[in-house]
Amino acid sequence: MLADKWIEIDISAVKNNLQEIKQHLNDRARLIAVIKANAYGHGAEDIARLLMQNGVDFFAVSFLHEALQLRKAGISADILVFSPIISKEEVLEAVKNKLTLTITSDNDREMLEQVGGSLTTHIKVHLKIDTGLGRFGMNQEEAVSVCRDINRNELLFPEGIYTHIADPGTPAFINQQFQQFMLVVNRLEQENFIIPVKHFANSSVFLSYPGMYLNAVRIGTLLSGQHPAGKFPVHLQLQDPYKFKSRIISVRVKERGSFLGYYRTHRLKHTAQIAVIPVGFNDGLAVEIANRPVGLWDMCKKMVKIILNYLNISRFSLNVTIKGKPYPIRGKVFMQMALVEIPLGVDVMVGDEVELPVRKTLVSRNIDRLYVQYGQAGKVANDGGTRYIVDND
Ligand SMILES: *Cc1c(COP(=O)(O)O)cnc(C)c1O
């Protein structure tokens, strides 16, 4: 049976992105590949395996369950968990699986030591400093006090220390956070606490501030092929490995003046072919994150976009790609389907492949992923027990 929708991940694009990043690190800083949120939608286990085969030896995820899933899949490299561990059972699980944990407060330290008291192995920890994001982390005094307690006890090995930026668009604030972080680092060094791996940079800092790499960089977005617009001191040639694909399940000609979809929000200006695609908001199509606008300018941009979308200015409609050409999605996207307008005379039929624009991290996890290596036949991909042979020659 033909699958009606699937995700294609281009292995060579992932490798390319990794090489592009590594080329700027040399032996200066270690790469911590951030593969949280299912590797930004690319499939954490397969991406981790692929990155390991290509020399990555350090990963990071947000939560314990993400790290455990990677261990279960046989990923033996170091894995740093960003968020605090909140129960004793979880600490035991984490220690058993040799995970690297983040200490965000004195409470975290205390719980690790309480549980760890019965253990003989070290627990590798990284200290988290809050320099302005307001999520997790300690200030200078708390960090000093935690380090004193850690030093008293052989159990915890303080391998690293880090902080996370709050505002990638504001250089002055990035600098301020960096200075504040270095104050803490220097203070701890003065007190003779040795913490070998200091890290600050995420993707946007990586591009803009080579002077802030320190001993390691935490990179997610760039690995997944997204490069912010604009010029940067470090410029990478990235490739997007991700394609969301489906097939047309119906094509019919609809007369000029016909309405399309629920609430009849779209009226055809020309007689056209209307294709049905079996992908809807349930799959992540046309799903937006409804955060408060970042500022007045951001709000204006959002409003202009909505207005142009309402007026059916085609550059602002959501387009799918069929045989290399863009065609607009019309009407409201359904739960599991969407309508596409294709001019008369264009040769399309049921079964034709369609590429859709989706937000990778909002796509349903149930959709199969195919790992393909273009130009190489017989690549095997694996997703939750289903295996595919992909032949692109
Ligand atoms: C997500 C995350 C990163 C990676 O950020 P990118 O901008 O995607 O590279 C780094 N550090 C922390 C703490 C994160 O949560």
Please tell me which residue, 238 or 383, carries the higher pLDDT value.
Answer: 238
Q: What is the pLDDT confidence band of residue 390, given thresholds at 50, 70 and 90?
A: very low
The DSSP symbol for 199 reads: E
Q: How far apart are CA 108 and CA 127, in angstroms?
A: 10
Q: Can you read off the two tokens belonging to residue 1?
A: 């049976």
221 touches ligand 1 (CB under 6 Å): yes
Please tell me which residue, 229 or 86, carries the higher pLDDT value.
Answer: 86
284 touches ligand 1 (CB under 6 Å): no
Asked if residue 179 has pLDDT above 70, the reply is yes
pLDDT of residue 355: 97
Lowest mean pLDDT, pick from 121-135, 179-193, 302-316:
302-316
Query: What pLDDT, in 10s, does the model give residues 25-36?
Result: 988 899 999 999
CA of 62 to the centre of ligand 1 (A): 9
Q: Can you read off the two tokens belonging to residue 146?
A: 């935690």
Q: How far apart are CA 209 and CA 102, in angstroms?
A: 25
**Count of Cβ atoms closer than 10 Å to residue 266 Cβ:** 19
pLDDT of residue 391: 41
**Reported pTM:** 0.92
Q: Which of 18, 31, 102, 202 to mutate to test the pocket of ligand 1 (most atoms within 8 A of CB)?
A: 202
361 touches ligand 1 (CB under 6 Å): no
Q: Which of 34, 102, 212, 234 to mutate to test the pocket of ligand 1 (most atoms within 8 A of CB)?
A: 34
Q: How far apart are CA 154 and CA 208, in angstroms?
A: 39
Q: Which of 56, 218, 223, 236 to mutate to test the pocket of ligand 1 (most atoms within 8 A of CB)?
A: 218
pLDDT of residue 389: 43
Across the range 367-371, mean pLDDT stands at: 93
Supply the residue whose CA is at minimum distance from atom 12 of ligand 1: 164
Q: How far apart are CA 119 and CA 98, in angstroms?
A: 12
Asked if residue 376 has pLDDT above 60, the reply is no
247 touches ligand 1 (CB under 6 Å): no
Q: Which helix (H) or strand (E) holds 359?
A: none
219 touches ligand 1 (CB under 6 Å): yes
Across the range 273-293, mean pLDDT stands at: 93
Q: Is the dihedral of CA 234, 28, 162, 66 positive or negative?
A: positive
Q: How far apart are CA 42 and CA 239, in angstroms?
A: 13
Q: How far apart are CA 127 and CA 117, in angstroms?
A: 20
Closest ligand 1 atom, CA of 36? 1
Q: What is the pLDDT confidence band of residue 229, given thresholds at 50, 70 and 90?
A: confident
CA of 131 to the centre of ligand 1 (A): 15
Supply the residue whose CA is at minimum distance from atom 7 of ligand 1: 203
Q: How far apart are CA 168 and CA 247, in angstroms?
A: 38
How far separated are the first and last CA of the chain, in Å rounded?
A: 21
Domains identified in the chain and CATH numbers: 10-227 (3.20.20.10), 249-351 (2.40.37.10)
203 touches ligand 1 (CB under 6 Å): yes
Query: What pLDDT, in 10s, does the model give residues 81-100?
Result: 999 999 999 999 999 999 99
Across the range 344-372, mean pLDDT stands at: 94
Q: Give the chain's count of helices (H) and strands (E).
A: 10, 21
Closest ligand 1 atom, CA of 224? 8
Q: How far apart are CA 71 and CA 88, in angstroms?
A: 19
Q: How far apart are CA 222 and CA 355, in angstroms?
A: 22
Across the range 324-341, mean pLDDT stands at: 96
Q: What is the pLDDT confidence band of residue 290, given thresholds at 50, 70 and 90?
A: confident
Q: What is the pLDDT confidence band of residue 392, given thresholds at 50, 70 and 90?
A: very low
CA of 74 to the centre of ligand 1 (A): 23
Angle between helices 88-96 and 106-116 (to 10 degrees): 70
Asked if residue 217 has pLDDT above 90, the reply is yes
- Please check whether residue 216 is in contact with residue 30, taking contact to mean a CB–CB distance below 8 angstroms: yes
pLDDT of residue 3: 82
Query: What pLDDT, in 10s, does the model give residues 187-211?
Result: 999 999 999 999 999 999 999 999 9
213 touches ligand 1 (CB under 6 Å): no
pLDDT of residue 311: 84
pLDDT of residue 1: 66
Q: Buried (b) or exposed (e) across 152-188, using 16+ Cβ within 10 A?
A: eeebbebbbbbbbbbeeeeeeebeebbebbbebbeeb
Q: Which residues, 6 or more positions from 213, have their beta carbon under 8 angstroms from its beta carbon? A: 25, 28, 29, 200, 201, 206
Closest ligand 1 atom, CA of 62? 15
- The DSSP bridge pattern shows strands 242-247 and 5-10 to be antiparallel
CA of 392 to the centre of ligand 1 (A): 33
Distance set, CA 308 to CA 18, 37, 301, 305 (Å): 37, 32, 11, 5
Asked if residue 52 has pLDDT above 60, the reply is yes
Asked if residue 281 has pLDDT above 60, the reply is yes
Query: What pLDDT, in 10s, does the model give residues 112-126?
Result: 988 877 777 789 999
- The DSSP bridge pattern shows strands 78-81 and 58-61 to be parallel
Please tell me which residue, 71 or 317, carries the higher pLDDT value.
Answer: 71
Q: How many CA atoms lie within 13 A of 287 on its CB side?
A: 16
- Please check whether residue 109 is in contact with residue 156, taking contact to mean a CB–CB distance below 8 angstroms: yes
